[in-house]
Amino acid sequence: MPAPFAIDPATGRLRFPDWSLELRPSMPQREFVAATAKLNRDNLGSNGGWQRYSIRQEISGDRKLGIFLVFFNELLRMVTFSYAPKDETWDNWSEQKEAAQLHEYRQQLDAQLGGKTTLPWGKVSAINNEKSGGTEITIQFSEET
């Protein structure tokens, strides 16, 4: 099944075709809010110039996608996302499934970014987050972009 995201290695633009959503380095917060008005978006609060949002919805192919976004001074600075089968729950979680998901995420990133993790517009990684118990892709945009 194809990845539910596409990253342009030259620009850092991140597309989620199932939602017709495109994010980019230093995207203004007001543009993000307008672009996600019809999605299940949660405002997670702000403090000291930082603003956080999350989006969670089903996507094609019986999968779900979750995105966590961080803005600083109204510009997009970080995006973390993960996708999994719609029926995945804590009841059927296993380390083996998380390891397989991490492998898939890294393969997708390698294919899209040519094996690079540091690019002029930011850094990309796929990790197993021990705090959440889940696997995720994180993009940290450079402040210069």
- pLDDT, tens digit, 9 for 90 and up, residues 40-79: 999 999 999 999 999 999 998 789 999 999 999 999 999 9
In a domain, 73, yes or no: yes
* 39 touches 64 (CB < 8 A): no
Using only C-alpha atoms, the chain has a radius of gyration, in whole angstroms, of: 15
Separation between Cα atoms, residue 142 and residue 145, nearest integer Å: 6
In a domain, 99, yes or no: yes
The pLDDT of residue 145: 55
In a domain, 109, yes or no: yes
Number of domains in the chain: 1
Cα separation of the two ends of the chain: 32
Residue span of the structural domain in which 96 resides? 6-141
Instruction: Count how many residues are written for the chain.
Output: 145
- On whether the pTM is more than 0.85, the answer is yes
In a domain, 59, yes or no: yes
